Chain A
Amino acid sequence: MTSTEVAVTISVDGNDVAVPEGSTILDACTAAGVETPTICYGPNLTPVNACRVCVVELEGSRTLVPSCSRPVEEGMVVSTDSDRVNHSRKMVLEFLGSGVDLSEADELNEWSAKYGAQPDRYENPERMNEEIKIQDDLYVRDYDKCVLCYKCVSACGDDAQHTYAISMSGRGFGARIATEFDVTLPDSACVYCGNCVAVCPTNALQFKTEFDLRQVANWRPEDQTVTTTVCSYCGVGCNLELHTQDERIVKVTSPDDHSVTWGNLCIKGRFGWQYVHGDTDG
């Protein structure tokens, strides 16, 4: 906090914590050392507060409030560990588990275990039931794994890319991320920046390299090394993190907190390395 920023003090689980004005309750929880599950929140994205897993109890509020988007106000009294909070978090995770393939959503699964979600309590629940979409060599879309967190939409739109190739479509449980009339990515406005892939919390969007390695049971994050470098395609100076497995680049990311990229790249930085290997099929 710099000296020009006004501090706001709120109580989190009985402890006072001071954060800069404009912070969210989530920021205050983090400052107080309280861990909060999040799904639709991203440090580089405008909050959409849709998943509701981050809810907390706020004194004076009839309903629970989403910590990721609610700005702090002086004197707020927040509980993060009440029965109501734990119940809602458990149910959100349980609801997701009952209809979505979370097999590659490691962080979600940790929270589901922590909060005691029991997705098998439901009899014949309708599921997403989506076929995987493989329309190019760069990334795949497996909406059977999609929790509809809007992160890819925000990354493609106002928060980073300004391409607006994808949107939420439909309504209710039938809502899906889609291009217009579900045309293929190559037919859509997509410019293959991969920013949507970078923010997806469930691996519904994944790079084709990762997908192919997973198909042959050879995706081994524990054996991967990450090298940081600066992209050489143009003069902007984007930081790249090259993830290497068996001496081949398998994925390129950029740090969320990097002041140039905020985690975002363009097609050259994200996928240009494929030419390093002299092939395009990963």
Chain B
Amino acid sequence: MADLHFTDAIANDGERNAIDLALGENSALTIEGERIVRGGASRRRGLRHLLLPALHALQKESGWISPGGLNYLSEVLQVPPAESYGVASFYEMFRVDTEPGHDDDVVHVCIDPACRIDGADDLIASLEAEGKHVHRSPCLGQCERPPAVFIQGRKRPDVVPADDDAFVLPQAGDDSLRLLQRIGVVDPTSLDSYREHGGYEALTKALELGADGVLAAISDSGLSGRGGAAFPTGIKWTAVRDADGDQKHIVANCDESEPGTFKDRMVMEHDPFALIEAMTIAAVTTGATNGWIYIRGEYPQATGRLENAIMASRDAGLLGEDVAGSGKEFHLEVRRGAGAYICGEETALFNSLEGFRGEPRNKPPFPTTNGLFDQPTVINNPETLLNVLPIVLDGAAAYRSIGTERSPGTRLFCVSGRVGAPGLYEHAFGATLGEIIEAAGGASGEVQAVLLGGAAGSFVTSDSMDLPLTLEATREAGTTLGSGVVMVFNTDDDMADICQRIAEFFKNESCGQCVPCRVGAIRQHEMIVAIGHKPMPDEKRVLHEDMVQVMADASICGLGHTAASAIKSALALGLIGANQ
């Protein structure tokens, strides 16, 4: 790389200190305990993965990504400033334009469906009347307590006001819970408390079983990914164990941004050690030495609890050079996203973590051989990882004793919208949609539609109440479980408005890399806005079907593949565009 060229803009002292501090704290990979600014240029280039932490520090210090600050962090990390700018401008939480007077706290208010039907507009109006700087945000992962708010602090920590409220798990005390058994029971800040509730027994067992034993148990259990794609976890882990590579990685995909989804947040906040233990099992099983928790930037409480849990586990010798006396090495770090749904797509997440724009990569090659830093990588959703603990402890047969043959075990459901008791629920696979809604206090009002699987999922109506929620039954019915979203709308809700927002969500969240999705998502939005409450003329239906097909066939990633599916289902069910 030629010498980098910078504009004349200079960082102020505060910006320099903030950036230095952020890089120092995150320097696990920056070696030798030396201040990075003193390293040679070529060594510094390997630090690009610190770009996101540096941008977070600058944003917090100055309230925006200032040209001087950008120059400084680009120079320290040896990243061309045009590229740093390209990265900064990708994320919702970084401001690259200045509006005078808007360098104070930013109040993010969710405008996605569960919040939009429950007070988001009124809240925004009153906050703006108070002169607050409001940012209209996509789903904040708090759909059980609408309208959701996240405050991005200026020179002070980020906060979620609702985190102060007492936490109650609706199913607390239910002995049949597998994944949620400790939630609300264990002290999430205490390793001792975790151990008193069976914590780290699975790691001990995994080390006894050895890699082959663990891989056999996971494969036999039939566990499949809970992040949306339902890929068999045993195949993934085995491929990484068998892959060549000096360095391998375990990544927990905690970006949770699918509208309607809040399960991972609750698990991370209320049972953080469990995620760490499961990642450690993945590491000792596959031979990975590095672990990364990539968590969405709007989850301050979960971030803090995970960082605390990592420290406690490290101090207890359960992480680090010698994991639980096994002689195996495993280092774990938390990295915060900065507001981009697409960064939950696994290859976009790798790019984001490496300090590049969160644009998905073309597959193949797959993460099992060419993942983070182009090295073999296991990437899993936290719920998937949580399942590993009972599988290792009790064996595959016990695990399969509930659920169905093709969907063994239990599933977490994020129930929100028009129900009596919105919240997180665990049910055996096979419970029907009606049963799940009943367990959440039943529908309030007459059900008009249920959004299954999130914005990337599809709508069903009250005709589907007997649908068993398994992978196979939902697939056969042409819908999906996705990330476990069950969002209920009643006959008072304006589906045209909900659908416009879903279309807008994809328009805003498309990374913009490929034509089918970049243009398809905006054209779909324009079309749905134009239809409003009117019937959809036939030629528009044809056009929408043409758009659906190219997006599903030719987009690079799952975002484009599914960006039209909820709208398509709403049109087919007559929720919008119906000929009266």
Q: Which residues of A contact B (CB under 8 A)?
A: 49-53, 55, 63-64, 66, 69, 84, 87-88, 91-92, 95-96, 98-99, 121-126, 147-148, 157, 162-175, 178-181, 183, 187-189
Contacts and interface: CB of A to CB of B under 8 A. Distances in A.
B166 interface: no
Nearest to B523: A122
A171 B511 contact: yes
B2 A66 contact: no
List of 3 A-B pairs having minimum Cβ-Cβ separation, nearest first: A164-B80, A167-B86, A175-B512
B440 to A, nearest CB: 34
B554 A63 contact: yes
A156 to B, nearest CB: 9
B362 A166 contact: no
Interface stretch (B143-151, B269-277, B542-550, B571-579): B542-550
17 contacts: A51-B514, A52-B556, A63-B552, A63-B555, A64-B553, A84-B549, A88-B516, A88-B554, A95-B519, A125-B523, A164-B83, A169-B86, A170-B89, A170-B512, A171-B90, A172-B508, A178-B89
Nearest to A84: B553
B523 A95 contact: yes
Given A168-B359, A171-B511, A173-B521, 10 more contacts: A121-B543, A168-B512, A169-B90, A172-B508, A172-B511, A173-B510, A178-B82, A180-B70, A183-B7, A187-B7
Contacts of B7: 180-181, 183, 187-188
B2 A167 contact: no
Interface of B: 1-2, 4-5, 7, 67, 70, 80-86, 89-90, 96, 340, 357, 359, 362, 507-516, 518-523, 526-527, 530, 543, 546-547, 549-550, 552-556, 561
Nearest to B511: A171
Nearest to A93: B515
Given A87-B546, A148-B518, A180-B81, A171 B89 contact: yes
Given A96-B519, A164-B1, A180-B84, A122 B526 contact: yes
B514 to A, nearest CB: 5
A50 B84 contact: no
Given A170-B90, A180-B84, A148 B553 contact: no
B360 to A, nearest CB: 10
Contact of B85 (A50, A121, A148, A180): A180
Contacts of A99: 519, 522
Nearest to B506: A172
A210 B488 CA distance: 59
Contacts of A168: 86, 357, 359, 512-513
Contacts of A49: 362, 514, 556
**Which one of B1, B85, B543 has the greatest number of beta carbons of chain A within 10 Å?**
B85
Contacts of B4: 164, 189
Contacts of A157: 80
B512 A148 contact: yes
A22 B189 CA distance: 52
A88 B82 contact: no
Nearest to B97: A181
Contacts of A95: 515-516, 519-520, 523, 550
A171 B86 contact: no
B39 to A, nearest CB: 20
Contacts of B84: 180
Nearest to A95: B519
A126 B547 CA distance: 16
Contact of B513 (A50, A96, A121, A167): A50
B259 to A, nearest CB: 16
Contacts of A162: 1-2
A55 B554 contact: yes
A168 B357 CA distance: 9
A168 to B, nearest CB: 5
B89 A126 contact: no
Contact of B550 (A87, A148, A183): A87
A152 to B, nearest CB: 12
Contact of B554 (A52, A124, A171): A52
Contacts of B80: 157, 164-165, 167, 189
Contacts of B518: 148, 172-173, 175
A165 B85 CA distance: 11
Nearest to A83: B549
A123 B526 contact: yes
Contacts of A174: 512
Contact of B362 (A69, A171, A187): A69
B52 to A, nearest CB: 15
B539 to A, nearest CB: 8
**Which one of A164, A166, A174, A179 has the greatest number of beta carbons of chain B within 10 Å?**
A164
B364 to A, nearest CB: 8
B553 A178 contact: no
B507 A92 contact: no
**Which one of B4, B510, B515 has the greatest number of beta carbons of chain A within 10 Å?**
B515
A126 B530 CA distance: 13
Given A91-B550, A163-B2, A164-B82, A173 B526 contact: no
A163 B1 CA distance: 7
Contact of B514 (A50, A179, A181): A50
A92 B89 contact: no
A166 B82 contact: yes
Contact of A98 (B509, B519, B546, B556): B519
A167 B83 contact: yes
A203 B518 CA distance: 21
Nearest to A99: B519
Contacts of B85: 167, 169, 178-181
